[in-house]
Amino acid sequence: MPPWSLLSASSRLSSALRCSCRWLSSSSPRSTAHDQQPPQRWGDTLHLPKTSFPLYNEPSADPKVREKTTEALYRWQWENAKGPLFVFLDGPPYANGDLHMGHALNKILKDIINRYRVSQGHRVYYHPGWDCHGLPIENKVLKQLGVEVNELTPSQVRAEAEKYAHKEVASQMAQFRELGVMADWSPETTYRTLDPDYELRQLEIFKAMVEKGLIYRQHRPVHYSPSSRSALAEAELVYNEAHVSHSVYVTFQLDPSSDGTSESLRSLLAGKNDVGMLVWTTTPWTLTANMAIAVNPEMRYRVVSVKDESDREFILVYAVDRDEALRHRDMPGLFPSSPVVLGEIEGSDLVGASYRPIFAPLHESPSALSSLPIIASSHVTSDSGTGLVHCAPAHGAEDFAVMQALGLISSSPTKTLADATPTLSKGSEIVCHVNGLGQFTEDVADVVGKDSAPELIAKDILSEGGRAIVGLLTKVGALKKVQRFKHRYPYDWKTDKPVITLATSQWFANLDNIKDDAIAALQDVQFVPAISRNRLESFVRSRSEWCISRQRVWGVPIPALYHVPSNTAVLDSDSLAHILSVLREHGPRYWWEGPVSAFIPPSRRNGLSDAELSEVWQKGTDTMDVWFDSGTAWSQLDDLYATLGGASQDGKDVRRTFGSDVCLEGTDQHRGWFQSLLLTALGSATTDERRRVAPYSTLITHGMVLDESGKKMSKSLGNIVSPMTVIHGGKGKKEKAYGADVLRLWVATVEFGKDMTIGSTVLQQCAETMRKIRNSSRFILGSLGDKPFENKVTREELGLADRYVLHRLHRLDKVARAGYEGYNYPQVINELSYFANITLSSFYFDINKDCLYADRVDGIERRRVLTVLDQVVTTMTRVLAPVLPHLAEEIHATLHGPESSSVFTTPWTPLPDDFVDPQAEEDMDKLFRIRSKVNSLLETARKDGVVKSSLSADVAMNISSASTSDVIDLLGREEDTLKSLFGVSGVSLCDRSVNETAPAWQYKDTLEIDGTEIEVAVRPAALEKCPRCWTYTRPASDELCRRCTDVVHA
């Protein structure tokens, strides 16, 4: 086939090769005076876009569509959706204060997931919840009332706390609505951990764990917050990396003559009296509770002689491996003179020896301990300190574990040293001189003596009390060095105050028996991002118990009974069954209001009257950890599945009767809610099947929201970005009001698995992205006339550009679905933005405006474009709807009327595969290369001042007549669309071998496509400007171009 055979088929080949060029623009026939009846304005004959869709999104417009797309939509889908059940278990935010940006991120991510599922025809279960118990609310109401907790009865505190919690729930609920969250916010379809039915389910779970032997009470050291006056779990701690303690190096006087001293030690210290065991501690306030010194039996220890300023010799013992660090120049003053090594000894030879209590010189109490033991422990290392560790089991979990394992202490409640024997014996009681306020008690006098005790009593151990201890250490000659020590230290997550370790009587859940099941259950859970699996599994593996009791009244009670005469706690299946029957009848608050006699099970009444029972029994006042509260949220799903008889899973005939499809929270919940859900679910499981199933199928984790410079937001820094300010604007219009959809768009553009930033710059960028998407939608709506296009063409009637756009639309649809399915929302937004900005605005709109505005209303070219645009706006709306529901509903209502149903009520179905057209994409890529070359030449012409509008130019493409290639065939097929594609008024295909008359000016360049060299030239338009369509396609003798003449006189 000759190279121009395709052009020959259009009956123009021979003339094209004989002439210098063949113009692809339309020529206009000569019009007579009789034919010309021009209107006053040619613009009146154009079909310019007309739409009620506003150019800008006003935040004030959001509420107009909010009911339709939130509460009404949720109720509609729950009543009408026929697809699989999709269960999203909401992690409850704490009901205190306004929403912060983390709340907004969290709820919007959840809403995107739920809306996508609704668009796929799923029946979505989503009941928003609130965490309502705990110290912050209790402290808040006490502060508002201006009273201390002991000035009110528990019932009074609880009533005020409940009232406050309900008020905060209502406030946060209103703000969540502002975010456009799809939910039914009525009491029946939301939950609060203070709801009586919720509390009763929680107590049933607690009862099941008691019956499985997982709940026990013990007196032992726990994390304790003096500022909260309560024990804390590990999940309630945050760590301050810059905490400063006053660390001390002190000596305990060894008694070389004690019965347990090894022969090796006796021999080495023969004739030596002042022998000090050198110890380092960052908590000098715990020294009054010292009960032993631990050494590592596998380590070697050095014995050195040192002389003080008065030339008095004293002996020090410390680990050989710590010698260099202790004698370093950064440790001046520790050794007054260069130490002389007397010898070395194995740690095992130190074990069994005794030493005198460090404060022994301050008192002469006959009840005071006269000696304390040196014990062996593998937890002693040479990484820091001296290699000898002071053990205070009241203030150290490792100290407690070691001494309990050796049988040196019991876990019975603390008694004072005045009640103890003079020497530490098997099963001695834990020594503690600190109360719940973090202050020294009067019992400290048993250690430091009555004369020195006033310096400590009622003093804060972390401040003035700690400094007083340093003074007493100096007085007894035990202090060798004191220095400020910056280190990582636990703080109360709610009060941001330091936490201490304190021995108290608490209730614990034993996790050793369930964590293997927990790890096994997690193997079937999908983690997003995948790396978060390691984080949760490591937390679960590291926990052996869970301190679940709190010493506050605003919470779910631990319904233990205490038998006063025997000082024992009763918490068993029998007592709980009776107590729960009473609480089901009267409500959970009755625990605080009813008489103790009402809760004594018949088996324990022993014929006593109610009055007699009240003297023998007491109700427990501890409440459950709030993580136990929220951790039982999965139990509400049991009622759901019981009602539905199970639920199909992934559309298959599989009945699920437990757990949720998805849970999504911040990364901090690996230590909190994700764990408590898992542990309470498996800990209370009554069947082997439930013991192997996690209460969630997918766990999604998001990072923290930082300010624009990557700093944590705080009031002190003044860098807080409030979600309500983003939506409504700041006071005095200092911050712009963006509306909910811009905030939602930000959420969808960030990699939420990592920490992310927000500020004015990124919000402006999101607003600009939103504007472009909105403008693309507005152009389509205006072209369609705010209604669906009915007079569509067939697939076979579409042109190359049309098929290419539908091909790209199919890709958008496919990529967006994959993004939503994989929780990769930036992928959705990036593909949507590219399609709206590049495929549509920069290409398809640009090349078809002339057709849309100036062609006949029912012309085939115009109908092609409107057929495509109708499909484009439908698919684009479905793609953006989960992220931008307000915009989607606005577009949908513009097309289908304000009274139309929500856009989500029609399922988002995949586009047909015949939209996929790789040949169209390949052909357009070739034409885009030529288009790029044309644009480059036009830009040069503009800079030189010869072109203002590209329509005033024509393009000539010179190709050798001897050439043959697919690109030549392509140009021949698309001859009628090239001028629109290039944005010029005419395009000619010319034979290089034919001489032509030189134009007035010309810019040209060459490019090669598939081995065919094409010379592209931009030159002046050959015809005149048409006053109606503004293209240079009008012969000088005519008033309009041919196309416009036909349209005007049709």
pLDDT in tens, 308-334: 877 788 889 999 988 888 877 556 667
Q: For 835-853, b where at least 16 C-beta lie within 10 A, e where not — what string?
A: bbbebbbebbbebbbbbbb
Do residue 145 and residue 252 come from a single domain? no
Tell me the pLDDT tens digit for each residue of 500-537: 999 988 999 999 989 999 999 999 999 999 999 999 99
Domain boundary among 850, 884, 916: 916
Tell me the pLDDT tens digit for each residue of 690-722: 888 999 999 999 999 999 989 998 888 888 899
Do residue 720 and residue 807 come from a single domain? no
Residue 263 — very low, low, confident or very high, per pLDDT cuts 50/70/90?
confident
pLDDT for the residue 19? 34
Beta strand 652-656 pairing with 647-649: antiparallel
Most confident of 416-420, 423-427, 830-834: 830-834
Beta strand 696-702 pairing with 660-666: parallel
Amino acid at 938: L
Number of domains in the chain: 4
pLDDT for the residue 647? 55
Do residue 691 and residue 748 come from a single domain? no
Cis peptide before 885 (omega within 30 of 0): no
pLDDT for the residue 411? 59
For the ranges 274-278, 408-412, 771-775, the lowest mean pLDDT is seen at 408-412
CATH number at residue 466: 3.90.740.10
Closest CA to 498 of 235, 136, 239: 239
Instruction: Report if residue 185 sits inside a domain.
Output: yes
Do residue 34 and residue 156 come from a single domain? no
Mean pLDDT of 467-496: 87
Residue 405 — very low, low, confident or very high, per pLDDT cuts 50/70/90?
confident
Please check whether residue 836 is in contact with residue 772, taking contact to mean a CB–CB distance below 8 angstroms.
Answer: yes
Do residue 909 and residue 987 come from a single domain? no
Q: How many CB atoms lie within 10 A of CB 925?
A: 11
pLDDT for the residue 482? 87
Instruction: Report if residue 1018 sits inside a domain.
Output: yes
Residue 619's alpha-carbon distances to 148, 564, 592, 623, in angstroms, are: 22, 10, 9, 12
Closest CA to 485 of 151, 701, 246: 246
Residue 117 — very low, low, confident or very high, per pLDDT cuts 50/70/90?
very high
Can you give the residue range of the structural domain that contains 802? 739-916
For the chain, percent of residues with pLDDT exceeding 90: 64
Contacts of residue 860, Cβ cutoff 8 Å, sequence gap at least 6: 793, 797
Closest CA to 301 of 253, 257, 350: 350
pLDDT for the residue 294? 93
- Is the pLDDT score of 1004 beyond 60? yes
Instruction: Report if residue 591 sits inside a domain.
Output: no
For the ranges 35-49, 101-115, 182-196, 683-697, the lowest mean pLDDT is seen at 35-49
Do residue 719 and residue 755 come from a single domain? no
Mean pLDDT of 444-470: 90
pLDDT for the residue 646? 55
Mean pLDDT of 43-47: 88
The DSSP result for 723-749, as a single string, is: HHHHHH--GGG-S----HHHHHHHHHH
Instruction: Give the chain's end-to-end CA distance (angstroms, integer).
Output: 41
Q: Torsion-angle region of residue 228: left (phi > 0), alpha (psi -120 to 50) or beta?
A: alpha
Q: What share of the chain is helix, strand, coil (3-state, %, to 5)?
A: 45, 20, 35
Do residue 165 and residue 83 come from a single domain? yes
Query: Counting every residue, how long is the chain?
Result: 1050
Do residue 724 and residue 774 come from a single domain? no
Which of residues 1045 and 228 earns the better pLDDT score? 1045
Domain boundary among 916, 942, 959: 916
CATH number at residue 801: 1.10.730.20
Do residue 303 and residue 334 come from a single domain? yes
- Is the pLDDT score of 9 beyond 50? no
Do residue 199 and residue 255 come from a single domain? no
Instruction: Report if residue 441 sits inside a domain.
Output: yes
For the chain, percent of residues with pLDDT exceeding 70: 91
Tell me the pLDDT tens digit for each residue of 541-581: 988 889 999 989 999 999 999 999 988 999 999 999 999 99
Tell me the pLDDT tens digit for each residue of 599-655: 999 999 998 999 999 999 999 999 999 999 999 999 999 888 888 765 554 544 345
Instruction: Report if residue 340 sits inside a domain.
Output: yes
Instruction: Report if residue 234 sits inside a domain.
Output: no
Please check whether residue 245 is in contact with residue 283, taking contact to mean a CB–CB distance below 8 angstroms.
Answer: yes
For the ranges 236-240, 437-441, 871-875, the lowest mean pLDDT is seen at 236-240
Tell me the pLDDT tens digit for each residue of 142-189: 999 998 888 899 999 999 999 999 999 999 999 999 999 999 999 999
Instruction: Report if residue 218 sits inside a domain.
Output: no
Task: Assign 289 to helix, strand or coil.
Answer: helix
Domain boundary among 728, 762, 795: 728
Do residue 870 and residue 936 come from a single domain? no
Closest CA to 232 of 222, 221, 247: 222
Do residue 399 and residue 318 come from a single domain? yes
Instruction: Report if residue 159 sits inside a domain.
Output: yes
